[in-house]
């Protein structure tokens, strides 16, 4: 059962950062608790203080400045899923948010919390990587931006500094001509494998591709090598290359057997989904063009 | 056969309370004055020798009252030798046999302190190698659980008829298969093991969810060394059971502590701890089956390995049920099943909805499809050719555990061929799947159930209250099936009253009304008959009183529409009751059947079928499975409440989808890997097929009130085989174990390498 802890409720990111600086290891950031509280209940994680950032007004909501969509870190998955800006500009992110856990988790958990927890079985990470999204990190010393690809380090590990608060996520829509897809397989409450793609196809060939795969390795990754390999290929050929990418994917991700399945199974399914995600993105793009 | 229709009927009497949240479950019960809280200390290891136990740090914590554990057990005045020798002792002695075995119970002023103190109990464990399957446990050199036994083998069971060798000599095709059903957790919504206990004078009071209150009260009386009528066990609403709900060791320990401390104690179990109380028996079904040149079954030889977990709780029934159902409903002239049972370092297995039969039905029904396909016959046609037809009997004589007994069971009444055809028709015309990677298939499965009579009679009482209402008392827990509603319907219908005039009490063992337990789909029949008898007896008393006070003859009086009638003149029951102060009208009714212990199904007087048809899509690339259409066929005898009957069949099937596709407790690396709701996948609403049909027929041939039968366990066993056979049909290769995961499908297809 939960151990007693103190709940701190700062109203600005600066205050929150100051609390983190003051309390050091004794404090954890609470941004919805979908995963954190589970660990606390099981006694895996014990903390004296929780710094609730969900009450910070500036961490909420989605804005669009004409180029970049900014999603406040404390925006819940349900809000991301339903937000008109996200749905229009970052549709696979909206889609991925709608698949997380269950309705209770989506109403409680936040995009910032999800990213900071860095569970390799995250849903929003793959679309964010495809969008070349970046996170905004704030502390009393100032603010910095970091690509999501640099922010994610490993399993439960990010580049956030102990006194930093993730305040938002910024992403641009995919450039004109891109189609996109988000595909996932799940058995438990977390995805077994997920894949996001952004593909620009022209005259039946892949002109540009962005591909990301989650859950199989220590963190969600962009597959830049595969992106290069498929560029210039016909769509069917690119799909086949995706499907047959297993040996390299195994080396890249070093998957392990676990409850969700064997490493062999996860790699196989990831490649099936990659092939499909390339094809679907290419076709949505062509459908949009025609 | 008459197809039952959804008729005008009142909602279940428990509906409003459960929908509004006002129904009282044990956790909703108010605090007893001065209550303490209990927390368990459980073995974190599956197999360990327990050395020194130091409770000093726990006792030093402020608010801690006491600890019950091995070293002070003798201070509690308990009769420990009264427990069944192979069931768990009240508390672990020198060995913990599964992860979750109870080492100590701590009580404190509040729950947090009790939990904290439990963590402060220092136990020296010497970790031993665990064994996690019956087959491994029975091998020479396996770690032995119960040292004094020298073996993990518990007992052997068997059932046979004909001459198995002779049967195989007639076979032209022989198929061999090994089908595996894993350990699963019942997973009721309400945790397993929450209760409240108190000693009032020398009366032990317990409030707990259990499906067998009378048996539990008697067991607890033995341990406490008090007369059985000094244990008053009361059962509030129960949030699901499926075989897992019993009073627990923690509650018995809490009673011992309560007697010593003279304080009430609340025992609170978590969802995670529930996984360590009860699970289903894992079974391995190794079969050899022979068919002759005409495609008729001639021989079936089955070796069963039954994994009972760390203690024997319920192993006898599960194993015996598995033996009696191992042949399905088929005409097998030469049959033999031999079962071996073993202790393993897993949560003790207990009965689980359709106990023993979900495992064997999966096996025999998958086997029948494999045989059919081996001889290039349609699986439905193969079943039509081989299933017992109405009028046929299960072989006349059979041998059970070595003794030959007469088989005088009732002839088959079930028309399986027509039920199967109805099931396949209910799936509608076949259509191609929507995507090129998908393949579609259909499967059918059947099961046959004999009536398992209770071990003792069932009783109920009916009492006329001064306000003209009637109170029915009994000791049958409502675990969600709608038992109270069944009681209300039967009493109202028998007495001629409205349901609003019937009050159904919660079970209370101080009434000493007998009932073997809400198990084995027998409650509607046996308790229903008792309620019918009690109501009939009370009705007679009411009419006698009416004759006495108003004249007329007993034949002239009727009770109808909630009132008494003498000719055209109406009298209210409340007037009658009020005019006779000091007269209490109360009657006990009993199910008058005699209940001998039957060796197999020799005493069976009627049969209940289970039939299901399924349509699935399988993604050949990912192995993902979707059940698109599912039809359940059932034979209810007589439906007492349509929505309850339908709910039981639907609920059983949804639970079956869990067994078919998702559920398995994984024991690896010395530990159970997924004993929490986050990692134990249950069926979700979205797993219910878009087309989900329930077809119930009523033959009126049941032995229960108004011709009713039990149907609660007829839908669950058919699900895994119907789905497995549909997958087999779709992909062309069989999967031999549940849950049927996408990964197993890919392995069967050869997409992934072949490995266990």
Evaluate the CA torsion angle B42, B45, B47, B51 in order and state its sign: negative
The tokens 């096996």 sit on which residue? Answer: B363
Interface of B with A in 582-641 (CB under 8 A): 621-624
In-domain check, residue B643: yes
B587 and B516 in a common domain: yes
Q: Answer yes or no: is pLDDT of B4 > 80.
A: no
Q: Answer yes or no: is pLDDT of A290 > 70.
A: no
B533 and B435 in a common domain: no
Q: Rounded mean pLDDT of chain B? A: 93
Residues of B in contact with A269 (CB under 8 A): 622-623, 742
What letter does residue A250 receive in the DSSP assignment?
H
Give the bridge partners for B199, in sequence order. B204
B556 and B477 in a common domain: yes
Q: Quick check: A265 and B270 CB within 8 A? A: no
Locate the chain A residue with the closest alpha carbon to B743. Answer: A265
In-domain check, residue B505: yes
Residues of B in contact with A261 (CB under 8 A): 741, 743
Query: How close A246 comes to chain B (CA, Å)?
Result: 12
Q: Are B710 and B86 in contact (CB under 8 A)?
A: no
- How many domains does chain B fold into? 2
What letter does residue B274 receive in the DSSP assignment?
H
Q: Are A164 and A17 in contact (CB under 8 A)?
A: yes
Residues of A in contact with B746 (CB under 8 A): 265, 268
Say what the pLDDT of residue B451 is: 72
The beta-carbon neighbor of A264 closest among B112, B676, B753 is B753
CA-based max dimension of chain B: 86
Which of A35, A46, A259, A276 would you mutate first to test chain B, the one with the most B CBs within 10 A? A259
In-domain check, residue B390: no
Mean pLDDT on B46-69: 98
Q: Are B83 and B146 in contact (CB under 8 A)?
A: no
A 10 A CB-CB count for B346 gives: 29
Locate the chain B residue with the closest alpha carbon to A2. Answer: B112
B588 and B485 in a common domain: yes
Interface of A with B in 20-79 (CB under 8 A): 38, 42
Locate the chain B residue with the closest alpha carbon to A193. Answer: B622
Q: Answer yes or no: is pLDDT of B3 > 70.
A: no
Of A281, A287, A266, A241, the C-alpha closest to A130 is A281
B560 and B502 in a common domain: yes
Q: Domain boundary residue among B534, B558, B593?
A: B593
Which of B40, B63, B111, B623 would you mutate first to test chain A, the one with the most A CBs within 10 A? B623
Q: Quick check: A187 and B111 CB within 8 A? A: no
Q: Quick check: A189 and B678 CB within 8 A? A: yes
Q: Rounded mean pLDDT of chain A? A: 95
Q: Domain boundary residue among B593, B614, B637?
A: B593
In-domain check, residue B391: no
Query: How close B535 comes to chain A (CA, Å)?
Result: 47
Q: Quick check: A259 and B679 CB within 8 A? A: yes
Which of B678, B682, B748 would you mutate first to test chain A, the one with the most A CBs within 10 A? B678
Element (H, E) at A224: helix A224-230
Q: Quick check: B674 and A259 CB within 8 A? A: yes
Residue B514 domain boundaries: 459-593
Query: How close B435 comes to chain A (CA, Å)?
Result: 12
The beta-carbon neighbor of A272 closest among B621, B674, B753 is B621
- Distance of alpha carbon B371 from its chain centroid, rounded? 31
Residues of B in contact with A262 (CB under 8 A): 743, 752
What letter does residue B596 receive in the DSSP assignment?
P
> Which pLDDT tens digit goes with each residue over B427-438?
999 999 999 999
Q: Is B465 part of the contact surface with chain A (CB cutoff 8 Å)?
A: no
Q: Is B753 part of the contact surface with chain A (CB cutoff 8 Å)?
A: yes
Tokens of A27: 């404090």
B755 and B644 in a common domain: yes
Element (H, E) at B747: helix B742-749
Which of A187, A191, A258 would you mutate first to test chain B, the one with the most B CBs within 10 A? A187
Q: Are B426 and B696 in contact (CB under 8 A)?
A: no
**B32 exposed, middle or buried (CB, 10 Å; 0-12, 13-18, 19+)?**
middle
Q: Please state the three-class secondary structure of B124-182 as a single string.
A: EEEECCCCCCHHHHCCCCCCCCCHHHCCCEEEEEEEEECCHHHHHHCCCEEEEEEEEEC
The beta-carbon neighbor of B678 closest among A38, A185, A269 is A38
The beta-carbon neighbor of A1 closest among B115, B623, B676 is B115
Structural domains of chain A ordered from first start: 6-52 (3.30.43.10), 57-171 (3.30.465.10), 179-289 (3.30.390.50)
ipTM for the predicted complex comes to: 0.95
Q: Answer yes or no: is pLDDT of B407 > 70.
A: no
**B107 exposed, middle or buried (CB, 10 Å; 0-12, 13-18, 19+)?**
buried
What letter does residue A121 receive in the DSSP assignment?
T
Residues of A in contact with B751 (CB under 8 A): 268
Query: Out of A112-126, B123-137, B499-513, B596-610, which region has the weakest mean confidence (pLDDT)?
Result: B596-610
In-domain check, residue B406: no
Q: Quick check: A38 and B741 CB within 8 A? A: no
> Which pLDDT tens digit goes with each residue over A214-229?
999 999 999 999 999 9
CATH of the domain at B653: 3.30.365.10
Mean pLDDT on B678-693: 94
Tokens of A44: 């895996």
Element (H, E) at B362: helix B357-374
pLDDT tier at A287 (50, 70, 90 boundaries)? Answer: low
Q: Is A236 part of the contact surface with chain B (CB cutoff 8 Å)?
A: no
Residues of A in contact with B679 (CB under 8 A): 188, 259
B743 and B645 in a common domain: yes
In-domain check, residue B72: no
Q: Could you give the percent of chain B with pLDDT greater than 90?
A: 85
Q: Is A85 part of the contact surface with chain B (CB cutoff 8 Å)?
A: no
pLDDT tier at B595 (50, 70, 90 boundaries)? Answer: very low
Of B332, B295, B326, the C-alpha closest to B161 is B332
Residues of B in contact with A4 (CB under 8 A): 112
Residues of B in contact with A187 (CB under 8 A): 662, 681, 741-742
Cα–Cα dist A22/A16, whole Å = 10
Query: How close B536 comes to chain A (CA, Å)?
Result: 51
Query: How close A55 comes to chain B (CA, Å)?
Result: 27
Say what the pLDDT of residue A140 is: 93
In-domain check, residue B197: no
Q: Quick check: B746 and A268 CB within 8 A? A: yes
Residues of A in contact with B624 (CB under 8 A): 185
A 10 A CB-CB count for B555 gives: 8
Cα–Cα dist B492/B16, whole Å = 19
Q: Domain boundary residue among B593, B627, B650?
A: B593
Query: How close B270 comes to chain A (CA, Å)?
Result: 9
Mean pLDDT on B577-592: 87
The beta-carbon neighbor of B679 closest among A4, A188, A261 is A188
Q: Quick check: B752 and A262 CB within 8 A? A: yes
Of B197, B206, B196, B192, the C-alpha closest to B269 is B192
In-domain check, residue B619: yes
Q: Is A269 part of the contact surface with chain B (CB cutoff 8 Å)?
A: yes
CA-based max dimension of chain A: 62
Give the bridge partners for B277, in sequence order. none
pTM score, whole prediction? 0.95
Cα–Cα dist B1/B15, whole Å = 31
B530 and B475 in a common domain: yes
Locate the chain A residue with the closest alpha carbon to B664. Answer: A259
Which residues have a Cβ under 8 Å from the Cβ of B273 and sit 6 or more positions away? Answer: B40, B42, B100, B191, B192, B193
Q: Are B278 and B350 in contact (CB under 8 A)?
A: yes
Mean pLDDT on B21-25: 95
Residues of B in contact with A272 (CB under 8 A): 621-622
Say what the pLDDT of residue B596 is: 46
B660 and B554 in a common domain: no
Q: Is A264 part of the contact surface with chain B (CB cutoff 8 Å)?
A: yes
- Spell out the alpha helix ranges (H) of B521-568: 523-550
Tokens of A123: 């849903």
The tokens 């059983």 sit on which residue? Answer: B652
pLDDT tier at B5 (50, 70, 90 boundaries)? Answer: low
Residues of B in contact with A273 (CB under 8 A): 622
B476 and B433 in a common domain: no
Q: Quick check: B662 and A268 CB within 8 A? A: no
The beta-carbon neighbor of B752 closest among A42, A188, A265 is A265
Of B284, B301, B285, B283, the C-alpha closest to B174 is B301
Dump strand ranges (E) for B382-488. Answer: 397-400, 403-406, 438-450, 459-464, 470-473
pLDDT tier at B94 (50, 70, 90 boundaries)? Answer: very high
Say what the pLDDT of residue B86 is: 75
Mean pLDDT on B693-721: 93
Mean pLDDT on B264-289: 96
B730 and B625 in a common domain: yes
B501 and B519 in a common domain: yes
How many beta-carbon contacts under 8 Å exist across A and B?
42
Say what the pLDDT of residue A281 is: 96
Q: Is A1 part of the contact surface with chain B (CB cutoff 8 Å)?
A: yes
């Amino acid at each position: 059962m939960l151990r007693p802890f103190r709940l701190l409720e700062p109203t600005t990111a600066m205050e929150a950062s100051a609390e983190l600086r003051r309390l050091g290891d004794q404090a954890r950031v609470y941004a919805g608790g979908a995963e954190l509280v589970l660990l606390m209940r099981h006694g895996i994680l014990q903390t004296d203080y929780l710094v609730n950032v969900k009450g910070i007004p500036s961490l909420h909501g989605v804005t669009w400045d004409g180029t970049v969509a900014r999603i406040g870190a404390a925006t819940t998955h349900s809000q991301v899923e339903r937000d008109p800006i996200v749905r229009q500009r970052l549709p696979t992110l909206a889609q991925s948010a709608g698949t997380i856990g269950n309705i209770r988790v989506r109403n409680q958990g936040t995009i910032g919390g999800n990213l900071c927890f860095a569970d390799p079985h995250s849903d929003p990470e793959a679309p964010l990587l495809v969008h070349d999204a970046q996170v905004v990190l704030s502390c009393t010393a100032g603010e910095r931006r970091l690509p999501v690809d640099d922010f994610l380090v490993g399993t439960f590990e990010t580049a956030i500094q102990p006194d930093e608060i993730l305040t938002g996520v910024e992403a641009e829509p995919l450039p004109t001509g891109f189609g996109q897809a988000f595909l996932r397989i799940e058995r438990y409450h977390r995805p077994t494998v997920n894949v996001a793609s952004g593909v620009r196809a022209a005259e039946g060939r892949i002109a540009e591709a962005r591909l990301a795969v989650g859950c199989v390795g220590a963190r969600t990754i962009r597959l830049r090598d595969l992106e290069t390999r498929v560029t210039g290929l016909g769509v069917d050929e690119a799909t086949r290359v995706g499907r047959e990418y297993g040996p390299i994917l195994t080396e890249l991700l070093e998957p392990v057997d676990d409850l969700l399945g064997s490493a062999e199974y996860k790699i196989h399914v990831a490649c099936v989904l990659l092939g499909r995600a390339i094809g679907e993105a290419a076709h949505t793009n062509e459908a949009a063009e025609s | 056969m008459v197809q039952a229709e959804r008729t005008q009927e009142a909602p279940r009497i428990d509906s409003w309370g459960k929908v509004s949240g006002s129904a009282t479950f044990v956790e909703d019960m108010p605090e007893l004055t001065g209550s303490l809280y209990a927390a368990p200390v459980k073995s974190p290891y599956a197999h360990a020798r327990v050395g020194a136990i130091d409770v000093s740090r726990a006792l030093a914590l402020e608010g801690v009252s006491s600890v019950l554990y091995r070293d002070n057990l003798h201070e509690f005045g308990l009769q420990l030798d009264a427990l069944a020798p192979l069931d768990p002792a009240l508390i672990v002695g020198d060995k913990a046999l599964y992860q979750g075995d109870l080492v100590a119970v701590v009580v404190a002023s509040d729950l947090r302190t009790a939990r904290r103190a439990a963590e402060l109990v220092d136990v020296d464990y010497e970790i031993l190698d665990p064994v996690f399957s019956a087959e491994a446990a029975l091998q020479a050199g396996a770690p032995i659980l119960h040292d004094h036994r020298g073996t993990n083998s518990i007992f052997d069971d068997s059932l046979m008829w004909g001459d198995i060798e002779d049967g195989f000599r007639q076979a032209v095709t022989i198929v061999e298969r090994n089908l595996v059903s894993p350990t699963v957790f019942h997973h009721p919504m309400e945790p397993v093991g929450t209760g409240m206990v108190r000693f009032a004078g020398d009366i032990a009071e317990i409030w707990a969810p259990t499906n067998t209150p009378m048996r539990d009260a008697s067991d607890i009386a033995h341990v406490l060394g008090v007369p059985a009528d000094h244990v008053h066990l009361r059962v509030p609403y129960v949030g699901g059971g499926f075989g897992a709900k019993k009073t627990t060791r923690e509650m018995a320990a809490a009673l011992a502590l309560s007697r010593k401390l003279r304080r009430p104690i609340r025992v609170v179990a978590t969802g995670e701890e529930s996984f360590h109380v009860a699970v289903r028996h894992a079974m391995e079904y190794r079969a050899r089956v022979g068919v002759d040149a005409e495609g008729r079954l001639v021989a079936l030889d089955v070796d069963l390995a039954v994994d009972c977990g760390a203690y024997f709780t319920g192993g006898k029934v599960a194993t015996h049920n598995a033996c009696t159902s191992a042949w399905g409903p088929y005409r097998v002239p030469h049959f033999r099943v031999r079962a071996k049972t073993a202790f393993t370092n897993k949560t003790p297995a207990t009965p689980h909805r359709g106990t023993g039969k979900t495992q064997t039905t999966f096996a025999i029904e998958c086997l029948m499809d494999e045989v059919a396909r081996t001889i290039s016959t349609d699986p439905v046609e193969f079943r039509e050719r081989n299933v017992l037809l109405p009028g046929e009997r299960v072989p006349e004589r059979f041998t059970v555990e070595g003794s030959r007994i007469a088989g005088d069971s009732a002839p088959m009444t079930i028309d399986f061929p027509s039920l199967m055809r109805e099931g396949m028709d209910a799936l509608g015309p076949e259509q191609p799947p929507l995507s090129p990677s998908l393949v579609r298939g259909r499967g059918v499965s059947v099961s046959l159930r004999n009536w398992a009579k209770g071990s003792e009679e069932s009783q109920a009482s009916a009492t006329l209250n001064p306000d003209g209402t009637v109170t029915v008392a009994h000791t049958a827990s409502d675990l969600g099936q709608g038992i109270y509603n069944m009681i209300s319907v039967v009493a109202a219908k028998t007495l001629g009253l409205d349901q609003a005039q019937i009050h159904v009490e919660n079970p209370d063992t101080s009434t000493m009304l007998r009932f073997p337990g809400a198990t084995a789909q027998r409650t509607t029949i046996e308790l229903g008959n008792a309620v019918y008898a009690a109501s009939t007896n009370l009705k007679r008393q009411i009419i006698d009183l009416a004759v006495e006070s108003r004249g007329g003859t007993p034949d002239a009086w009727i009770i109808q529409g909630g009132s008494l009638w003498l000719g055209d003149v109406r009298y209210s029951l409340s007037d009658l009751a009020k005019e006779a102060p000091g007269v209490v009208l109360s009657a006990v009714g009993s199910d008058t059947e005699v209940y001998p212990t039957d060796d197999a199904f020799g005493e069976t007087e009627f049969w209940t079928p289970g039939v299901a048809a399924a349509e699935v899509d399988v993604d050949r690339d990912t192995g993902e499975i979707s059940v698109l259409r599912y039809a359940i066929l059932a034979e209810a005898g007589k439906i007492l409440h349509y929505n309850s009957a339908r709910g039981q069949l639907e609920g059983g099937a949804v639970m079956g989808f869990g067994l078919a596709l998702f559920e398995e407790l994984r024991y690896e690396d010395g530990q159970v890997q997924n004993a929490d709701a986050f990692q134990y996948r249950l069926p979700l609403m979205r797993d219910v097929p878009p087309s989900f049909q329930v077809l119930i027929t009523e033959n009126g041939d049941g032995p229960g009130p108004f011709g009713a039968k039990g149907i609660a366990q007829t839908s669950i066993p058919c699900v895994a085989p119907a789905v497995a056979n549909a997958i087999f049909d779709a992909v062309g290769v069989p999967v031999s174990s549940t849950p049927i995961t996408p990964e197993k499908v890919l392995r069967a297809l050869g997409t992934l390498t072949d490995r266990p």
